[in-house]
């Protein structure tokens, strides 16, 4: 295998995964012809980002495709490097729609292809594969911007809708990785595009991205005010259709408002907003994923625990966790579960139980490694665990800390 050309290795592992060329091409966002040319060696694989995406889809260590470590990365799980940050920044700084206002835009990407790519990006985010996502984002941003600039008539609104989603994806992953200024820029763009898409619910969920970025930048008060103001506009009743989609977006606005209130130490507002979200979750009747919110009764409990941690009440966070039905928790997507385990690690650390805090980090790492290894807040928790552990830390904790680059 090591002596085979990379295209032949792709073909071999695709076959081992019982995946047709068409299915593989769809997951990769390429054409079947492109895959065939790669596998026959007619087309070269000379971009690291594409090689890593192939490895992820085939569930392989990238070294099995390359035969050696790529120069830009030390292992298959990296978070984001400065080159990628600048590529994303450059993509966010494009103004295709303004250029198209003065000059005819080139032929835009087909919306069907873009729709598949956007859905794949959402799933990549919700499965916690942040490194893969950040490598794909520059191209996806450029294509979505070109589609938004180039389509008109009935397709213009869908193109704007898809671009708004891409901005939201970018904002969410950039915030997790500590690039707060870029996260705010992408979220702000998503709100403007949502208005052109003429979708109040898309604008509502875009509001939560703006507010999350503001909180990450140390601005929880304006985040709280904006979340509550838009939630009131989308509240069920008062002539609004009570649909699962509206309930989900409304509920998430309240949950993110509660998180902003917790950051300010306003426990009364936290309880009030969580109570409203509880009513929405009850009306919804179960855990769903409308507008990629993962909103429902279980996600509500995760936010109860997270808000308790922000308020410094780790004991309450742990108690809340123990009240979550295990089947419901396990049914959530990996990003949600790993995020909660990170919050729980913070809660255990607050009550002085560093052994359980470390265990939560390990569990989160097994679910979605990027959520633990890539987030600055996780590094802070690991540093705290190492500092407060008597003697040498357990071997699994020491190994994870080494992967994270966190020293004792």
* Sign of the alpha-carbon torsion through 72, 123, 144, 257: negative
- State the pTM of this model: 0.79
Which tokens in the block code for residue 319? 């108690």
Instruction: Kindly list the distances between the CA atom of residue 142 and the CA atoms of 109, 133, 139, 173, 353, in Å, as whole numbers in the listed order.
Output: 10, 14, 5, 17, 47
Residue 46 gets which letter from DSSP? -
Radius of gyration of the chain (CA): 22
Strand partners for 237: 240
Cβ burial 219-253 (10 Å sphere, 16+ → b, else e): bbeebbebbbebbeebbeeeeeeeebbbbbbbbbb
- Residue 60's nearest CA partner among 102, 9, 94 is 9
pLDDT per residue, tens digit, the chain (408 aa), is: 445 688 888 888 888 778 899 989 988 889 999 999 999 888 888 676 788 788 878 877 666 676 544 343 333 345 776 677 888 888 887 766 555 444 455 568 899 999 999 999 999 999 999 988 988 999 999 999 999 988 988 899 999 999 999 999 999 999 998 889 999 999 999 999 999 999 999 999 999 999 999 999 999 999 999 999 999 999 987 666 789 999 999 999 999 999 999 999 999 999 999 999 999 999 999 999 999 999 999 999 999 999 999 999 999 999 999 999 999 999 999 999 999 999 999 999 999 999 999 999 999 999 999 999 999 999 999 999 999 998 889 999 999 999 888 875
- Cβ 297 vs Cβ 282: under 8 Å: yes
Residue 116 class from Cβ within 10 Å (0-12 exposed, 13-18 middle, 19+ buried)?
Answer: middle
- pLDDT of the residue at 74: 37
The neighbour count for residue 379, using CB atoms within 10 Å, is: 17
- Which residue is associated with the tokens 């103004």? 95
User: Which residue, chain included where needed, has tokens 């763009």?
Assistant: 189
Return the number of other C-beta atoms located less than 10 Å from residue 32's C-beta: 14
What 3-state DSSP class applies to 237?
A: strand
Question: Is 169 in contact with 209 (CB distance < 8 Å)?
Answer: no
pLDDT attached to residue 131: 87
Tokens coding 401: 């800390």
- Residue 240's beta-bridge partner residues? 237
Give the separation between CA 32 and CA 62, rounded to whole angstroms.
22
Closest CA to 335 of 167, 83, 178, 133: 133
Q: What angle do CA 262, 253, 341 make, to 5 degrees?
A: 55
DSSP H helices, 80-129, are: 82-92, 96-102, 111-126
Cα separation of 198 and 216, whole Å? Answer: 28
* Residue 85 near residue 71 (C-beta atoms within 8 A): no
Q: CA-to-CA distance for 331 and 337, rounded, in angstroms?
A: 9
* Cα–Cα distance measured from residue 57 to residue 317, given in angstroms and rounded to the nearest whole number: 36
Token pair for 16: 């081992």
């Amino acid at each position: 295998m090591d002596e085979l050309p990379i295209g032949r290795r792709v073909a071999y592992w695709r076959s081992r995964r019982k995946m047709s060329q068409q299915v593989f091409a769809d997951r990769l966002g390429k054409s079947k012809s492109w895959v065939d040319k790669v596998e026959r060696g007619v087309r070269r694989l000379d971009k690291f980002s594409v090689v890593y995406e192939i490895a992820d889809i085939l569930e392989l260590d990238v070294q099995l495709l390359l035969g050696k470590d790529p120069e830009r990365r030390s292992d298959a799980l990296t978070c984001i490097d400065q080159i990628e940050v600048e590529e994303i920044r450059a993509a966010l700084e494009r103004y295709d729609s303004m250029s198209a206002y003065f000059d005819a835009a080139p032929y835009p990407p087909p919306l069907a292809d873009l729709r598949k790519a956007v859905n794949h990006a959402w799933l990549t985010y919700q499965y916690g594969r942040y490194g893969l996502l950040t490598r794909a984002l520059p191209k996806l941003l450029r294509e979505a911007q070109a589609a938004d600039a180039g389509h008109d008539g009935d397709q213009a609104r869908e193109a704007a809708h898809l671009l708004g989603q891409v901005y939201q994806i970018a904002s969410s992953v950039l915030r997790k990785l500590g690039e707060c200024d870029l996260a705010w820029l992408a979220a702000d763009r998503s709100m403007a595009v949502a208005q052109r898409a003429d979708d109040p619910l898309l604008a509502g969920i875009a509001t939560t991205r703006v507010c999350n970025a503001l909180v990450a930048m140390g601005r929880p008060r304006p985040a709280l005010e904006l979340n509550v103001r838009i939630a009131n506009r989308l509240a069920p009743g008062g002539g609004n259709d009570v649909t699962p989609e509206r309930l989900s977006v409304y509920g998430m606005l309240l949950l993110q408002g509660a998180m902003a209130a917790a950051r300010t130490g306003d426990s009364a507002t936290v309880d009030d907003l969580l109570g409203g979200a509880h009513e929405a979750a009850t009306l919804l009747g179960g855990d769903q994923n409308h507008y990629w919110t993962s909103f429902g009764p279980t996600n509500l409990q995760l936010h109860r625990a997270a808000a308790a941690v922000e308020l410094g009440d780790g004991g309450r966070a742990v108690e809340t966790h123990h009240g979550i039905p295990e089947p419901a928790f396990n049914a959530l997507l990996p990003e949600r579960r790993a995020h909660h385990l990170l919050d729980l690690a913070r809660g255990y650390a607050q009550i002085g139980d560093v052994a359980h805090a470390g265990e939560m980090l390990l569990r989160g790492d097994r679910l979605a490694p990027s959520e633990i290894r890539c987030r600055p807040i996780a590094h802070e928790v690991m540093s705290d665990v190492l500092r407060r552990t008597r003697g040498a830390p357990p071997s699994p904790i020491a190994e994870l800390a080494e992967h994270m680059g966190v020293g004792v």
